A = this chain, B = another copy of it.
Amino acid sequence: MPASEAIRHALLIDLDGVVYQSGHLVEGALEALDWIRARQVPHLFVTNTTSRPRASLLEKFEELGFSARPDEVMTPVVAANQWLAEHRVHKVALFVPAETQRDFGGIEAVAVDQDAAVEAIIVGDLGDAWDFKLLNRAFQFLMQEPQPRLIALGMTRYWRGRNGLQLDVAPFVKALEHAADCEAVVVGKPAPAFFEASLAILGVSAGQALMIGDDIVGDVGAAQRCGIRGIQVRTGKFRESDLDGEIKPFALLDSIAGLPAWWERELEPGS
């Protein structure tokens, strides 16, 4: 398909659980990505990963055997920096991994054990660095008057790691919302603003786009609420009981490896 032809469909691609899982590429993922690029399907990797900065995310891809340009990757940290600039927020407390703190360059971050007034606290996936003391500090910041805003880097509930299912950022955000009686600003999946910003980057409409993900709620359901068709894969955190709920994916694939054949058969036959 020559690049000058009208764009028919674009693709948003979740990474963890779709392209790789437990530190390894999903079988056939590389070939599927090669196909997407060769066919010049407009695409964006949309990930809620906040456990490492974007630069180190790209390094990780290289180790896994594929490469991506920074502007091919949309993360909640990118969206958070946009939000902070728009709302002129300058003083925050960061509850994100030390490495990711680098990606918050233009703002003043107070130490989390410091008793200083802040305008917002930013909460990412701290994984097993979470303990009572740290979560309680986040809570104490939120009980300042006036109350700082709570910014959530995504609302992923859990992911599948080497030791089974692991809590992600959302449960900790829910804990803080309930304790401090506030509502988080979500700057990652499943927030509609995150999908809309991704569509704007690609320059396509919701009706032209598809989202491929392993999270029936955070990927498929959230995309479909924005009018983006969702493709559910059976890799990553997927469980068969995910299909018993209200969310009905537009398509169901065993893995991303099946995407090219499905695309050519069901979505763009005869092209």
- Using a CB–CB distance below 8 Å, which chain A residues touch chain B? 126-133, 135-136, 139-140, 143, 145, 157-158, 164-167, 170-172, 174-179, 181, 241
Do A179 and B175 touch (CB < 8 A)? no
Given B128, B130, B174, B179, which contacts A178 in the complex, CB threshold below 8 Å?
B174
Docked Cα-Cα span, A166 to B143, in Å, equals 11
Residue contacts A-B, CB under 8 angstroms, 20 given: A128-B131, A131-B131, A132-B167, A136-B165, A136-B166, A139-B158, A139-B167, A140-B165, A145-B241, A157-B178, A157-B181, A167-B175, A167-B179, A170-B178, A170-B179, A171-B178, A171-B179, A172-B175, A174-B174, A175-B175
Do A171 and B139 touch (CB < 8 A)? yes
A145 contacts across to B, CB distance below 8 A: 241
Docked Cα-Cα span, A109 to B45, in Å, equals 45
Do B130 and A132 touch (CB < 8 A)? yes
Docked Cα-Cα span, A171 to B165, in Å, equals 20
Do A167 and B135 touch (CB < 8 A)? yes
Do A128 and B139 touch (CB < 8 A)? no
A126 contacts across to B, CB distance below 8 A: 132
Do B176 and A171 touch (CB < 8 A)? yes
**Most B C-beta atoms less than 10 A away, residue of A139, A165, A177, A178:** A178
